[in-house]
Structure 1
Amino acid sequence: MMKPGNRLKIIFIITFLLPWIIVSQSKDYSLTVNTHKIISSYDKPMLLGVNAGVFYEESYFMDLDFLSYLRQLNPGIIRIPGGSWSNELYWNGNRVRISEESYISAEDWKRIKEEGGNPIKSGFDMTRYKDGKWDVDYSGYAPGFRIVDNEHHLSDFHGFTDVLFLHKFIHSFGAEAMVTVNVGTGTVEMAVEWVKWVKQREFFARDAFDVKYWELGNELDGHWETGYILPDGSKMNAKEYVRRYKLFTTAMKKADPEIKVGGSAASNMSLPFIEELIKDQDAPIDFISFHAYPSKDKDTCFVTMANHAAEINAAVARIKGWIAKYRPDQKDAIEIALTEWNIKVKEDMTTVDLTNTLWSAVMLGEIAGSGIDIAIQWDLFSTTETGGHGLFNPKDPEMRPRSQYWAVYLWSRYMGNNLVETKLNTPDFVRAYTTTDEKFVSVMIINGSKDKPVKLRLELPGTARKMQAQEISYSSDQFELDAKTLLPVKSKKPSEKMVLLKKKKEITISPYSIKILRYPIAKQ
């Protein structure tokens, strides 16, 4: 048994000496910024894109709170029609889709079955199904529909909206659109007609949509995609993908030579099909696309997940290496597009709690420094019982942003369009990124420890001896999640205050938080 005197000694050490020990050890921690060494420059709104899908209700897109929040992110590009649905969708249903409803209600489904009918076929002209394909009349437009296999059998759900609505939504934001065409089960004609259709003024109130970016297929290297299993029973491979890519893009470029085409929308950072695509000199390529959900399903450790985020740099380097090797004349012309990204595939608690604020702030920093030209977060509204990739939970009557939204917000509102050199001497749970623009230097520091504050010394060459700086903070003071409902208890904007910034300043970063110091560039 421990003697009372020893207990008092231990209490004294824990209460008085331990904090002093932690602080004294932290005095060696430092962050040094070199604003003269630019790592990369980028079009920031094009790194803050989002994905939208026809499977979401129109009411979500029309919610006034949602619209206000999304405008604050200033997304430069929005991708449609929605991930895997791209390989299953007839974008136009004219003269095939004869019902105005996007889906059949449970009551109608039951009634049609009781009458001996097939509810899946309800609302469709079945005489337009010929030789395993649907005969769409492209002289007009009707909402599209979804199929489930290579024989183009109809799905029982075709979405709550259509591509016309999504094009109008994107147009209202003044953002670029990226369309992912159906290479899995679609036809060249289907893609070409979409390219032609978006330029026709007759369908729209004022202007044509003039879509610039056209992506060929979605994750066709994955067994989960419709079109991965080919009509002969074999599996999609690089050779077959590149063959289809060339057929589609050649015809699409003929319909509109000004569009930009790209692929392969690889499902992960091992980049399947991409080297073969770049190597084929007959394939027109304006951008290369891939997806990244870097963390493993079981990952919960911030350091592990932040390290996985940094793997984006090696993936981009491989792509650039292939371009330099096989297409040296295009090495400065071919863009790199990360057309889906999130923390992990599994939609668990880490996708919706404060972890995804911190992790996404890191991921955007790695994206900014990697040389990626376009980055598009997945997605706006996806929600499961255990989490969700969506920036918003449509089940929330107040449509409050989820945690990941605030990382994008921090980069959109406070960070610049040049990433500059930042050197850290800290524990590995601390990450930092520094940016500049025409007026400001912004230093973002992320503390991924849940229980340890970090005190570090800032070395900021080129600043005045003393100046006013804006200090922006994000932590559990701003965001808290109800673990049962997975709805935010609070979801607030970052805190802001003015502080006196010295050339050499010590700063403390609270546990599991982000702090940004934003100060004017010193006049020469």
Structure 2
Amino acid sequence: MSTARITLDRDFTIGPVPRRLFGSFVEHMGRCVYTGIYEPGHPEADEKGYRQDVLKLVKELGATVVRYPGGNFVSGYNWEDGVGPVEGRPRRLDGAWHTIETNAFGLHEFVDWSKEAGVEVMEAINLGTRGVDAARELVEYANHPGGTALSDRRIANGAKDPFDIKLWCLGNELDGPWQIGHKTADEYGRLAQEAGKAMRFVDPSIELVAVGSSNSGMPTFGEWEHTVLSHAYDEVDYMSMHAYYQEHDGDALSFLASAVDMDYFIESVVATCDAVRAKRKATKHINLSFDEWNVWYQRGLDTDDQPHNVSKGWVEHPRLIEDAYNVTDAVVVGTLLNSLLRHGDRVSIANQAQLVNVIAPIRSEENGPAWRQSIFWPFARTAELAKGQILRTAVTSDRVDTPQFGDADLVDVSSTYDEEAGRVALFLANRGLDESADVSIDLRGFTASRVTRAEVLQIPEGGTRKSANTESEQDAVGLAPLDGVTLDGSSARLTLPALSWAVVELEVAKA
């Protein structure tokens, strides 16, 4: 059996848990909006067309902030197309995903849906084909109380009160040649600077996210962030990050160590932001918005059971990248959440991409059911229980050697301390494919009195690491009780099954 020792100390904290860390993403792509969150005529839809079965799962997932409307989609999107009477809205070609956008769902519908879902809106603006004027006009339309042409237009369209959107993304992935309106770092940095300035002239209270590298493998990674911030440092509050992971050629060990790469990515962007801060002798810190992350099988999408990246024809809401997530994927997602938590002092916002159907924790079928994918569970439990302060974790673990990321801890962990509730929560993953792990936990400064929660996601009986939830078997992979957690005052002990993710919550008193 493998072993790991985890040490926590009440006085050694990283910072408070950012509630925006548990964000999600709704893009006008595939079936995320249409037949996902919105399907008029569905048996579970309300009078506004919002699917209540999906909405119930969104609330259970615990998402706190949702980015909208893209994504690649936003770089060719005119926000005006999605406001006003639905029957008068134009049908458009969406070049990003080669589909037809009906605009039956737009800003008003999303803001209204977000209120029902209990999530904060994170609005993205088009800096691909549009610029400063469209950016400031959208802020005026959304946030100004009234008495101007644009704010009065919002009122006439049915929203008397301002939307009061605080979080704004200054475009999307404009470093990428695939992006409509692709720009150099200098071009984008100047545009972000001027758009951000104009937006803040309209509403000084907003928070702005600058586009960062689309991934750490981009040839301009590092240089892009430095150049953009050299222009826009004073105007923005966050630098965005995007990363997707998948298993390549059966290399499960590297896939399971994906969080090692996420750690590196985060720490590299923090270093770049702080280098610009030092050069400018600035007082404020730029924090990070990891506003797209997930497991995404971007290769091998041409098989019968994996849709293509883009639609073959100009059709409405085709099936796009509807990955079916398995046990291995869920364990990886749990470790990615751990990485985000461990860097919660600088990663203030994170959005798992996407919410429904499109590489999502929730699946739905048109005129059919909605269900939880395997990756739903680590997100939901971490969002529910990660409260208070993030604890620094010292881990001494057996190691696993991976071809892609070098060696990594066999047992991955993050932890939090909710002083008000008197709870310590640990989120653990066993990356080992074959062996259980004996885990001892040293609770310095705490006395544990009882286990209030102990659950594990693992390979189901009779299943494999590729077992997944489907429309016909919606509960094949889920959480089960983790038996055998023992306490001895300031220590705890447990066994993690091979290839598993677990959450353990302890009731504690200060020692």
1:364 correspondence with 2:337: yes
Map of 2:457 onto structure 1: 474
Q: Deviations over 1:58-104 (max 9, x none)?
A: 44212222211211233221111120001011111389x99838xxx
Give the paired residue count.
440
- CA–CA separation in structure 2 for the residues paired with 1:250 and 1:517: 46
Structure 2 residue corresponding to 1:279, chosen from 230, 254, 264 = 230
Map of 1:12 onto structure 2: none
Letter of the 2:390 partner, please give it.
Answer: L
Q: Which moved more, 1:345-354 or 1:32-41?
A: 345-354
- CA–CA separation in structure 2 for the residues paired with 1:220 and 1:253: 21
Q: Superposition pairs for residues 331-350 of structure 1, below 5 Å?
A: 331-332=284-285, 334-344=286-296, 346=298
Q: Superposition pairs for residues 207-286 of structure 1, below 5 Å?
A: 207-228=161-182, 236-269=183-216, 270-271=221-222, 273-280=224-231, 284-286=235-237
Map of 2:77 onto structure 1: 89
- CA–CA separation in structure 1 for the residues paired with 2:14 and 2:381: 20
1:437 correspondence with 2:418: yes
Q: In the alignment, is the contact (CA less than 8 A) between 2:16 and 2:390 conserved in 1?
A: yes
- CA–CA separation in structure 2 for the residues paired with 1:158 and 1:283: 38
Map of 1:490 onto structure 2: 475
SS of match in other structure, 2:172: coil
Map of 1:312 onto structure 2: 265
Q: Deviations over 1:471-493 (max 9, x none)?
A: 22222349987679687542565
- Please report how far the alpha carbon of residue 47 of structure 1 lies from its aligned counterpart in structure 2 after TM superposition: 0.4
Q: In the alignment, is the contact (CA less than 8 A) between 1:471 and 1:516 conserved in 2?
A: yes
- CA–CA separation in structure 2 for the residues paired with 1:209 and 1:494: 38
- CA–CA separation in structure 2 for the residues paired with 1:204 and 1:483: 43
SS of match in other structure, 2:362: coil
Distance change >3 Å, CA 330–CA 179, structure 1 → 2? farther
SS of match in other structure, 1:222: coil
- Please report how far the alpha carbon of residue 314 of structure 1 lies from its aligned counterpart in structure 2 after TM superposition: 2.0
1:413 correspondence with 2:384: yes
Distance change >3 Å, CA 198–CA 466, structure 1 → 2? closer
Map of 2:64 onto structure 1: 76
Structure 1 residue corresponding to 2:274, chosen from 297, 321, 334 = 321
Normalization by structure 2: what TM-score? Answer: 0.76
1:392 correspondence with 2:362: yes
Q: Deviations over 1:361-403 (max 9, x none)?
A: 11111111222000011101344xxxxx112222383311112
Letter of the 1:300 partner, please give it.
Answer: A
Q: Which moved more, 1:214-223 or 1:30-39?
A: 30-39
- CA–CA separation in structure 2 for the residues paired with 1:34 and 1:282: 36
Map of 1:508 onto structure 2: 495
Distance change >3 Å, CA 160–CA 448, structure 1 → 2? farther
Q: In the alignment, is the contact (CA less than 8 A) between 1:48 and 1:73 conserved in 2?
A: no
Q: In the alignment, is the contact (CA less than 8 A) between 2:8 and 2:442 conserved in 1?
A: yes
- CA–CA separation in structure 1 for the residues paired with 2:223 and 2:102: 29
SS of match in other structure, 1:317: helix
Q: In the alignment, is the contact (CA less than 8 A) between 1:184 and 1:227 conserved in 2?
A: yes
- CA–CA separation in structure 1 for the residues paired with 2:449 and 2:139: 56
1:300 correspondence with 2:241: no
Q: In the alignment, is the contact (CA less than 8 A) between 1:218 and 1:266 conserved in 2?
A: no
Q: In the alignment, is the contact (CA less than 8 A) between 1:40 and 1:368 conserved in 2?
A: no
Q: Which moved more, 1:243-252 or 1:281-290?
A: 281-290
Q: Deviations over 1:13-49 (max 9, x none)?
A: xxxxxxxxx4xxx4x64222223211232323x0010
Map of 1:518 onto structure 2: 505
Q: In the alignment, is the contact (CA less than 8 A) between 2:208 and 2:235 conserved in 1?
A: yes
SS of match in other structure, 1:390: coil
- CA–CA separation in structure 2 for the residues paired with 1:306 and 1:282: 28
SS of match in other structure, 1:361: helix
Q: Superposition pairs for residues 114-133 of structure 1, below 5 Å?
A: none
Map of 1:459 onto structure 2: 442
Map of 2:354 onto structure 1: 379
- CA–CA separation in structure 1 for the residues paired with 2:117 and 2:169: 21
Structure 1 residue corresponding to 2:141, chosen from 197, 202, 205 = 197
Q: Deviations over 1:457-512 (max 9, x none)?
A: 33223343764443222223499876796875425653347855223443211111
- CA–CA separation in structure 1 for the residues paired with 2:469 and 2:502: 29
- Please report how far the alpha carbon of residue 339 of structure 1 lies from its aligned counterpart in structure 2 after TM superposition: 1.1
Distance change >3 Å, CA 424–CA 391, structure 1 → 2? same
Q: In the alignment, is the contact (CA less than 8 A) between 1:50 and 1:378 conserved in 2?
A: yes
Map of 2:113 onto structure 1: 169
- Please report how far the alpha carbon of residue 347 of structure 1 lies from its aligned counterpart in structure 2 after TM superposition: 6.7
Distance change >3 Å, CA 59–CA 91, structure 1 → 2? same
SS of match in other structure, 1:352: coil
Q: In the alignment, is the contact (CA less than 8 A) between 2:27 and 2:71 conserved in 1?
A: yes
SS of match in other structure, 2:360: coil
SS of match in other structure, 1:245: helix
- Please report how far the alpha carbon of residue 413 of structure 1 lies from its aligned counterpart in structure 2 after TM superposition: 1.9
Q: In the alignment, is the contact (CA less than 8 A) between 2:468 and 2:477 conserved in 1?
A: no
- CA–CA separation in structure 2 for the residues paired with 1:405 and 1:423: 27
Letter of the 1:243 partner, please give it.
Answer: R
Map of 1:49 onto structure 2: 23
5+ long unaligned stretches in structure 2? 38-49, 144-150, 301-305, 307-322, 399-408
5+ long unaligned stretches in structure 1? 1-21, 102-141, 229-235, 384-388
Q: Deviations over 1:106-137 (max 9, x none)?
A: xxxxxxxxxxxxxxxxxxxxxxxxxxxxxxxx
Map of 1:352 onto structure 2: 325
Distance change >3 Å, CA 148–CA 495, structure 1 → 2? closer
- CA–CA separation in structure 2 for the residues paired with 1:313 and 1:455: 30
Normalization by structure 1: what TM-score? Answer: 0.75
